[in-house]
Chain A
Amino acid sequence: NAGVIQTPRHKVTGKGQEATLWCEPISGHSAVFWYRQTIVQGLEFLTYFRNQAPIDDSGMPKERFSAQMPNQSHSTLKIQSTQPQDSAVYLCASSRTGGDSDYTFGSGTRLLVI
């Protein structure tokens, strides 16, 4: 079990460019979550899929951010026209059904927008 895999580990983009972050959940886990971590705000929920269907995207900024889960083996978070304030560590987590004791986080993608 390789755990939740996130790629890339680090990404540097210029302001206005697009960034796509990838997450491979643990096999057999049907719930996939995206969070964002900054020094100022701490860990913030972004969005959540169960069985590939979007369940809750209440934490997603309304513009420029989108997330998809085209199959059960990966999810993507896309940020269009990146801004310096998007700089953060983006964390993906999975669990068997959501709300379980086996909530497992990936190592995160550190995004820097310059």
Chain B
Amino acid sequence: GQQVQQSPASLVLQEGENAELQCNFSTSLNSMQWFYQRPGGSLVSLFYNPSGTKHSGRLTSTTVIKERRSSLHISSSQTTDSGTYLCALEHGSSGNKLIFGIGTLLSVKP
């Protein structure tokens, strides 16, 4: 089965609203990363967060290992936040490769 599951698959917001993106994983974890991808663009690393909570501007990532979940919170969304958000985990037996979720497609309307 899929080791990394993301929800929701897609999300539409009005500018200014908040978003909570979820990532659940079914295996042990060495690290968890969140990436952002604009349509047709490359992946940009947002957070490297193996555990706990990290902040970066309007973004907050929280990883709870024993609950096998990680979340990405976007506050006061802007139209420029539109794109795909991907979580990826590296776990013990996978070496250093990342296993990605399918992503959440976020669209922020003006």
List residues of chain A with CB under 8 Å of any chain B CB.
Answer: 31, 33, 35, 42-45, 48, 50, 55-56, 59, 91, 93, 95, 97-108
Contact = CB atoms under 8 A, between A and B. Distances in A.
Contacts of A102: 45
Contacts, number: 57
Interface of B: 30-31, 33, 35, 41-45, 48, 86, 88, 90, 95-103
A99 B102 contact: no
Nearest to A56: B95
Contacts of B48: 100-101, 103
A99 B101 contact: no
Contacts of A31: 96
A48 B97 contact: yes
Contacts of B33: 101, 103
A96 B86 CA distance: 21
B96 A48 contact: yes
Contacts of B95: 48, 55-56, 98
Residue with the greatest number of chain A CB neighbours at <10 A, chosen from B30, B48, B96, B99: B96
Given A48-B95, A55-B95, A98-B96, A103 B45 contact: yes
B73 to A, nearest CB: 19
Contacts of A44: 100
27 contacts: A31-B96, A33-B96, A33-B97, A33-B98, A35-B100, A42-B100, A42-B103, A44-B100, A45-B99, A48-B95, A48-B96, A91-B42, A91-B43, A95-B96, A98-B96, A99-B30, A99-B31, A100-B48, A101-B33, A101-B48, A102-B45, A103-B98, A104-B45, A105-B43, A105-B44, A107-B41, A108-B42
B31 to A, nearest CB: 6
Contacts of A97: 96
A56 B41 contact: no
Nearest to B103: A42
